[in-house]
Structure 1
Amino acid sequence: MIEMTYNTKEQDREIKGDGSSYDFGARMYNADYGRFFSLDPKSKKYPGISHFSFAANDPINCIDIMGEETFFIHGTNQSANEIKSGDGKLLRESVNFIHSTLSTSTGVVNYGFDWSKQSSWINNVSDRKVAAESLAQYVINNNTKGDDITLVGYSHGGNVAIQAADMIYQKTGQKVNIITIATPTHNEGQYLNYKNSKNNFARELYELYQIKSKENPEFSNGINDMKHFWLNDDGVAGPIAGGEDYYKSSKVHNIHINDGGKDWSKEGSSFLPSFIKSHGFIYYPQMIKDNVEKQKISPLKPVNKDE
């Protein structure tokens, strides 16, 4: 008989006896000794940490549920080093929570990928393609073969992840799961300069002739499942850089963040307008947690390796 324990791990009574063995997915834990009795599959990457430790010996700030990884992709005008220090702590708290609650590759989040050479304020789809090529190779080099791959992208980092999904799929045959946060969305391909008799944009026509966008998840063969966090007042993901949500993709579960009527004008620098400050809702982990819990957001679907 296999049962779930208070810590959500399966208890293997038939093989190891009552209450002595917990299945953490990538390795087994012996409760009698308070130790894992198999190596962490990521141990070669972290020679300074005991191969049998839990959560890198830092269970307050780290997550080690399955011993596997999720990959985080920073946003525009950011760097991996920035995410690892200062206010990046708040962002990591949000990402770690999202990862542990929704990801199928639960474990330590890998914050090492950097595309700062392409992520200037004026980065475009071609810049993000270059970054996506690097990300695809980074994931392939760092992910344990057979593990689910989850990419978590903030702002345009989400579009880098979407482009990388097909690249990873083409190289490995494995689909990936994606979580995007405040990512400017692409719901169409190429817009046609056409207006109908009412002077409205003729959606029914340009949909017939659209060119498939590399950053529209609907056209991706490499995405298994995807969730997208968005905020109504996000002026960066909305009017400035694209759209706020994916209103036409069957692959995406849109998660609308309710900020409780937050007055963004009082947050951060007084020089920035509210609609830009709200783009940083990822730096408000309690807001993220409250919305995920109140909306009872379900986890991503596991990747079917036989497809």
Structure 2
Amino acid sequence: MQAFYATQFVLQLPAGHRFPMGKYQLLRDRLAAEVPEVQLMQAEPATDGELALVHTPGYIAAISDGTVAPAVMREIGFPWSAAMADRARRSVGATIAACRSAQRDGVAANIAGGTHHAYADKGGGFCVFNDAAVAARLMQAEAARSRRQPLRVAIIDLDVHQGNGTARVFQADPTVFTLSIHGQKNFPFRKEAGDLDVDLPDGTGDETYLHALEIALGDLERRFEPDLVIYLAGADPHEGDRLGRLKLTWDGLEARDRRVFDWAWQRGVPLAFAMAGGYGNRIEDTVQVQVNTFRAAADYARRWHNRPR
């Protein structure tokens, strides 16, 4: 199973900044040591043309050359730098590469990504460009060369925060289905209408969450037949997350991941996943959630490898 990374492009954040930038390198190191089935690949940056499938030319240019308005950067939550702009492009490029790999091999990953708060003309909530949205649009464009019907993409977003940017991008688009299961009272406080939004109260635990997921997947299946799944496997529903407000255990999150992988596997639908959010009181806990996701994914990658052709 291929996983794409940009961990060598690290943002130098101010002391005390609440974004745990170090989690990506810690995850990559643990995957290299503990999950040898994962083939680690460096991500290439998304091009202007690829980003423009979703984002406005003015916003792309402003992020690239540093002329982005200070208010926009405050909403994103990072200081602007050339390294930030490059890393944002590579995070999108990693999801693009994971989608291509998944369509060949069944399952693939982006070690970062899940930047679902980015809109066409602005970012927000530590998200600069929307990797899942760009990748979905690009996979559709590439598939159009060889098929009559549009490639249908389901974005299953299980970050604790609603994917408001993604929902807005694909509103009224019947070829992309956006499913988000998130904290009702958590950021963003003004939600966008996706195709299927499931709001959960603070303190939701494993049993209630997994029941809600089962119902949501059944609803998705009745309403949409995807050719590709992009899965945002956020670690922030974990009970040890300082921004999550839900109470899922490690076992509960692993069960969540396996249910999504199994749902796609049973239907023969390729799946690319990204790590999305994770803000543990202990960074090691966030990384453990993500390592567990990769272990589950590697099991399903072996199934895909042995699948009758």
- TM superposition score category, shorter chain reference: 0.3 to 0.5
The structure whose residues are more often helix, as a share, is 2
Q: Which has the larger radius of gyration?
A: 1
